[in-house]
Structure 1
Amino acid sequence: MNPQNRVAYLTLIISSLAIFLLATITIIKGDTNVSMTIFNTTLPVFASWIGTVLAFYFGRENFESANKQVQHIVTNLTTKSKSQKSIDTIMITPYAMTIFKIEKDSSIDNIKLSDLQEKFLTHKVSRLPILNFQNQIEYMIHQSKINRYLINKNLDAEDISFAIFLKDNREDENDESKRFIVVSKDTAIDETQKKLQKCKKCKDIFVTKNGNREEEIMGWVPDVHLLEI
């Protein structure tokens, strides 16, 4: 028997015994007026006591159940409300991003993998957006990809250019350097999630004014940020 049933039975038994004893005493005394006075005084007390105790134990469970349902509804509504907001409300702005920029007078042939690794280590990041001098997204590089490449080929990062790395990885079906999507700043979060799911192995979203790759980026949303919505 669970604790709630024990409390219910105990409350009813004690109350019944108390009423029975009072009735017995009044019958023995044989005074009708006294009997009515005792019953009129004590019965409301017992009734209130029984109602309060039972409501506390059984009403609390109903309250907790209802409260959980309300919290679930509120959570769903909050999540739905967030997912309908535009993607620019959750993006990381360029000022807060760790990036590597290819300057106008430079090229990927002049960039060494050691230059990229320095960015990874200095800023303690695992993903590095590569922008051109016009602040347009060109590549998204994952630190694990570079590390795996150097280990598998037994190479030193100082000796390999970014251009060679990209060339070797274009033949790799797991190449992630171009696997990202670009959306406009007004695109809803839920719509962005659907676009990301359609892009095979894409993990990053870049935001521009109109959703074109030729535009300057306004922000970046890693896939892990969408998991928090």
Structure 2
Amino acid sequence: MSEEVSGRQANVVEGWWERNFKNHLAALVFVCSFGGVLLTASWTLGQSAEIGRQIFNVLAPLFGTWVGTILAFYFSRENFKEANDAVSRLVDRVTPEQRLARTPVRDVMKPRASIKARDLKEGEEEGKIAVRELMKLVGEGYSRVLIFTPRGVIKYVIHESTLNKFIADRSAPIEAGAPLPAPPLDASLTELLAHRAGSQTIGEIARRFVFVKEEATLADARAAMLAVKGCEDVFVTKSGKQDEPVLGWLTNTDITRDL
């Protein structure tokens, strides 16, 4: 036992000496060089000008070379260490794709309880909801209106830009003899969903979302979103089925924030 302790102590002393020998040697050389320059300068003062100049010209470069060697050693070592650390950080850096693959959707999604939405009631006729009511849900950080069934299943996602287009189209002058439509804000959800916005109806656009299961990652959510052209919303359900209650919601911004 005593031999093992002695061996460990010897290793500790040896390790300390190895770690500090170069520093002590460098300090000793530096002090000797600095002192040597001073001693040489003071000694040559008592000699003739020619002899003193020759002696100083021989010894001063020698001391300077010693000091320069020490400085070069330490600065090159620090530069090498910094370069090595930079390479290590580069190798260890996680790419955005790897970060998405490691991040569960549950860590980023907006939980259902915190989603500002229009929840349909049992027996309520969704078609009679007025556009005016939907516009009130826009704002406070939301640019979408979400409509859920009484069971908590997502039914429509209506973007603010879509609502604004509908209002602008309804506010445009009508042809002579054409029936006068209801004011845009008084129009019903049925009229809104049937309105065309380009090649699709607003109803088709409002159903353009996808689902992932609760255990999915952001990479899974992104892949599902990119699989549907124009999709900007991903909903999280227990097993990823569209007829299940929504547990959380992610937008395209939530998913691609780190890309």
TM-score exceeds 0.5 = yes
1:95-106 map, 5 Å? 95-106=113-124
Deviation at 1:49, TM superposition (A): 3.9
Q: How is 1:1-229 mapped onto 2 (pairs within 5 angstroms)?
A: 28=51, 43=62, 46-52=65-71, 55-56=74-75, 62-76=80-94, 80-121=98-139, 123-154=140-171, 156-169=183-196, 172-173=199-200, 175=202, 176-229=205-258
Three-state SS of the structure 2 residue aligned to 1:120 is coil
Distance 1:106 1:65 in 2: 67
Letter in 2 for 1:167: A
Residues paired across the two proteins, number: 201
SS of match in other structure, 1:207:
strand
What amino acid is the match of 1:179?
R
Distance 2:91 2:200 in 1: 43
Tell me which structure has the larger Cα radius of gyration: 2
Unaligned runs of 5+ in 1: 1-14
CA deviation after TM superposition for structure 1 residue 42, in Å: 8.6
Cα deviations by residue, 1:16-44 (Å, 9 ceiling, x for unpaired): xx99xx7xx79947xxxx99xx96x9956
TM-score by length of 1: 0.72
Letter in 2 for 1:126: S
C-alpha distance in structure 2 between counterparts of 1:90 and 1:124, whole Å: 16
Confirm or deny: 8 A CA contact 2:109 2:249 kept in the other structure.
yes
Q: What is the Cα-based RMSD across aligned positions, in Å?
A: 3.6
Shift of residue 172 of structure 1? 3.7
Measure how far apart 1:84 and its partner are. 2.6
Any idea what SS the aligned residue of 1:117 has? helix
Q: What is the CA-CA distance between 1:195 and the residue it aligns to?
A: 1.6
Aligned-residue sequence identity (percent) comes to 17
Q: Structure 1's 61 and 228: CA in aligned 2 closer, same or farther, altered over 3 A?
A: farther
Contact 1:207 1:218 in 2 (8 A): yes
Which stretch shows the higher mean deviation, 47-56 or 104-113? 47-56
8 A Cα contact 1:112 1:157, kept in partner? no
- Cα distance change, pair 164–79 in 1 and its aligned pair in 2 (3 A): same
Q: Secondary structure at the match of 1:76?
A: coil
Kindly indicate whether structure 1 or structure 2 has the higher relative contact order, using CA contacts under 8 Å at least 6 residues apart: 1
Q: CA deviation at 1:163?
A: 1.1
- Mark the runs of 5 or more structure 2 residues left unpaired by the alignment: 1-32, 172-181
